[in-house]
Amino acid sequence: MSSVYIVGADLIGFGRFPARSVPDLAAEAALLALDDCGLSIRDVQALYCGNLYQSAAMVGQRMLREIGMTGIPVVNVANACATGATALREAWIAIRAGVCELALAVGVEQMDKGLLGAGAGAGFVAEGVIGSDTMPAMFALIGQEHTRRYGTTFEQFARVAVKNHHHATLNPKAMYRVETPLAEVMNAPMIAYPLTRPMCSVNVDGAAAAVLASEAAVRRLGLRARGADPCLGDGERPLGAARAGHGGLQRGDAARGALGLGAGRAGAARSGPRGTARLLRDRRARSLREPRAVLRRRGRRADR
Amino acid sequence: MGEGQRAAQDYIVPGDGGWQLAGSRCGACHAVYLGARKVCAACGARGRMQAEVLRDRGRVHGFTTVHRSFPGVPVPFVMAVVDLDGGPALRGTLRDVSAQELRFDLPVRVVFGDSGQRDPGGAAWIAFYFVPDREAVS
């Protein structure tokens, strides 16, 4: 069976956008991902759209109404925290099965403030009487299971949040981008022990999209030079290894530039499967060697 | 159990000596569940589930003190997952426990009481709670 490639991926800047619609957020992400690989919505043969809060509202079809009603099959996916990942997996399955060659996977959510969970219904309210259904309380119990098994401490859990907040400072699309030192995390208001407020995910609006392609489509559309990796299930590489550069890559020379390849080697790399493998290998080695900033500079240069 | 009382969950049922927790056990693999089941989710056996009254003793498997909840819900309270003697594990609120004694494997009892909530007819919703079993051998 041939491999499946992620040829384009991007996400919108996360934040709160009460004036915008869910399909609108999804459309922005979809267009960014298509731009990332230089393709059009007209190239897309199937859409897998992940959204939880409007799971009965046909978000995928409404998104296509905004960016291109091309008549392709649409599947709306809802799977709790794994909703977007499931949309991606379904796109992968469709291509892997040979049903289509190029699919778009989108994950989008627009959330209210406040604790996630079941909330109060009519009649008897179990919250507080028979445990708690808030997400922080549920995940606190899961954390406590880790403590039970491994002796994990409050401080160790807090350090995970410190690390995650640090990562956000490096991500221009994150909503909060502030360093959050250990003392601040540990002294913040407790939500459900051992989780303080900065250890809980912020409710946020956002969307991300990925364009997946079969090996044949990658060849036909000339996407090889983008250095897309086979993804998921091939057992070779984690999904996160799918991209080297960052944003707005084009086919051809610009993409090769973004991947840090000289023109001479790029010519060889394009000559066939073996060349592609070398390209991927070289790129991986390079991305391990070179600091992120260098890759980012290359990406910017390629954009011009 | 008297007039004006109503079980807050369908697995809370009247018994000889008061309220009790209804469960079911698989005759094929002996898995135990809270409430009634038609099919065993552990082994898939059909037609083998038998009703069984759950024990009212167990030990704390995991716990968290909840400081924030939905609007109007009094906090803090302790949520615990308890491994009931004979099974299964059950999630509920642990009352009358001090921070000092709260720990993994704390012996607890299941008690039943007025949740403080009323149905539209004025009947009290009866819930179950965990309380420390201070007479148990730790």
Cβ-Cβ pairs closer than 8 A, A with B, add up to 97
Least confident of A66-75, A109-118, B39-48: A109-118
Measured between alpha carbons, how far is A59 from A65 in angstroms, rounded to an integer?
Answer: 10
Which residues of B fall within a CB distance of 8 Å from A114? Answer: 70
Structure tokens at B8: 């807050």
CA distance B90 to chain A (A): 10
* Contact status of B61 with chain A (Cβ, < 8 Å): yes
Measured between alpha carbons, how far is A6 from A36 in angstroms, rounded to an integer?
Answer: 11
pLDDT of residue B2: 63
CB contact (8 A) between residue B117 and residue A144: no
pLDDT of residue A119: 57
Whether the per-residue pLDDT at A143 is higher than 90: the answer is yes
Nearest CA in chain A to B123: A124
Whether the per-residue pLDDT at B70 is higher than 90: the answer is yes
Could you read off the pLDDT of B102-129 as tens digits, one per residue? 999 999 999 999 999 999 999 999 999 9
CB contact (8 A) between residue B93 and residue A115: no
* Residue A105 and residue A209 in contact, taking contact as beta carbons nearer than 8 Å: yes
Least confident of A6-20, A64-78, A175-189, A282-296: A282-296
Q: ipTM for the complex?
A: 0.90
Could you read off the pLDDT of A43-63 as tens digits, one per residue? 999 999 999 999 999 999 999
Which residues of B fall within a CB distance of 8 Å from A134? Answer: 66, 68-70
Average pLDDT of the segment spanning A117-142: 87
Q: A260 versus A27: which is more confidently predicted?
A: A27
pLDDT of residue A44: 98
pLDDT band (50, 70, 90) for residue A230: low
Contacts of A262 (CB under 8 A, 6+ apart): none
Residue B91 carries which side chain, given as an amino acid letter? R
CB contact (8 A) between residue B68 and residue A191: yes
pLDDT of residue A256: 31
Average pLDDT of the segment spanning A200-214: 95
Could you read off the pLDDT of B14-55 as tens digits, one per residue? 998 899 999 999 999 999 999 999 999 999 999 999 999 999
Measured between alpha carbons, how far is A175 from A183 in angstroms, rounded to an integer?
Answer: 22
pLDDT of residue A61: 98
Q: Give per-residue burial for A31-63: e unless 16+ CB within 10 Å, then b.
A: bbbbbbbbbebebbbbbbbbbbebeeebbbebb
* Residue A213 and residue B88 in contact, taking contact as beta carbons nearer than 8 Å: no
Average pLDDT of the segment spanning A120-146: 91
How is A17-86 classified by DSSP, letter by letter?
-TTS-HHHHHHHHHHHHHHHHT--GGG--EEEEE-STTTTS-HHHHHHHHH------EEEE--GGGHHHH
pLDDT band (50, 70, 90) for residue A3: confident
CB contact (8 A) between residue B127 and residue A191: no
Give the mean pLDDT of chain A: 80
Which residues of B fall within a CB distance of 8 Å from A127? Answer: 69-70, 73
Average pLDDT of the segment spanning A102-118: 88
